[in-house]
């Protein structure tokens, strides 16, 4: 993914107020209203001079005066809405994707099984395509469907 370079720190500081302890952004022109909006994926975003930027990346630049470039800004607690400075860390793409795999391993669900509210869904990836196998009442039933599909 190609990432646009962030505006200069000077431009950011002229337009925004960032509170590192709360993770909130405010426009200098309207200091009583939050500046963020939200993507469909749940990430906070900011519009600066007509361009969209992820709030976590802007927070990093405003706090450290450094553009993250091609690095990822990871939310330590996995909460995409928590842009407190203490919750942000700079990771390369590989480390960030590995973190997600570790989180899935910690869930202790068998391979191919994912929690879906009060049920369990089974899915398998074949030739790069993700195939949904169904929704089940128990993780064992979902795992059985997964095993049958890979056979």
Distance CA 136, CA 122 (A): 8
What is the pLDDT confidence band of residue 2, given thresholds at 50, 70 and 90? low
Mean of the per-residue pLDDT values of the chain: 87
Residue 135 has pLDDT above 80, yes or no: yes
Number of C-beta neighbours around residue 42 at 10 A: 9
State in Å, rounded, how far the first CA of the chain is from the last one: 35
pLDDT in tens, 58-69: 999 999 999 999
pTM of the model: 0.63
Residue 7 has pLDDT above 60, yes or no: yes
9-99 classified as CATH 3.40.140.10: no
Residue 4 and residue 13 in contact, taking contact as beta carbons nearer than 8 Å? no
Residue 108 has pLDDT above 90, yes or no: no
Distance CA 129, CA 136 (A): 21
Q: Can you give the chain as a three-state secondary structure string?
A: CCCCCCCCHHHHHHHEEEECCCCEEEECCCCCCECCEECCCCCEEEEECCEEEEHHHHHHHHHHCCCCCCCEEEECCCCCCCCCHHHEEEECHHHHHHHHHHHHHHCCCCCCEEEECCEEEEEEEECCEEEEEEEECCHHHHHHHHHHHHC
What's the confidence (pLDDT) of residue 98?
A: 62
Residue 50 has pLDDT above 70, yes or no: yes
Closest CA to 75 of 47, 42, 109: 42
Residue 95 has pLDDT above 70, yes or no: no
What's the confidence (pLDDT) of residue 99?
A: 58
Residue 1 has pLDDT above 80, yes or no: no
Name the residue ranges covered by the structural domains of the chain: 9-99, 107-150
What's the confidence (pLDDT) of residue 107?
A: 61
Q: What is the mean pLDDT of residues 12-33?
A: 94
What percent of the chain shows pLDDT beyond 70? 89
């Amino acid at each position: 993914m190609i990432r646009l370079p962030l505006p200069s720190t000077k431009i950011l500081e002229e337009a925004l107020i960032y509170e590192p302890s709360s993770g909130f952004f405010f426009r200098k022109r309207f200091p009583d209203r939050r500046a963020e909006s939200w993507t469909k994926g749940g990430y906070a975003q900011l519009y600066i001079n007509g361009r969209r930027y992820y709030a976590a990346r802007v927070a990093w630049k405003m706090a450290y005066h450094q553009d993250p470039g091609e690095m990822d800004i990871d939310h330590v607690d996995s909460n995409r809405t928590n842009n407190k400075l203490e919750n942000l860390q700079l990771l390369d793409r590989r480390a960030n994707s590995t973190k997600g795999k570790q989180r899935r391993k910690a869930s202790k669900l068998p391979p191919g099984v994912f929690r879906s509210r009060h049920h369990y869904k089974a899915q398998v990836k074949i030739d790069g395509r993700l195939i949904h196998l169904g929704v089940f009442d128990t993780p064992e039933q979902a795992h059985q469907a997964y095993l049958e599909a890979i056979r």
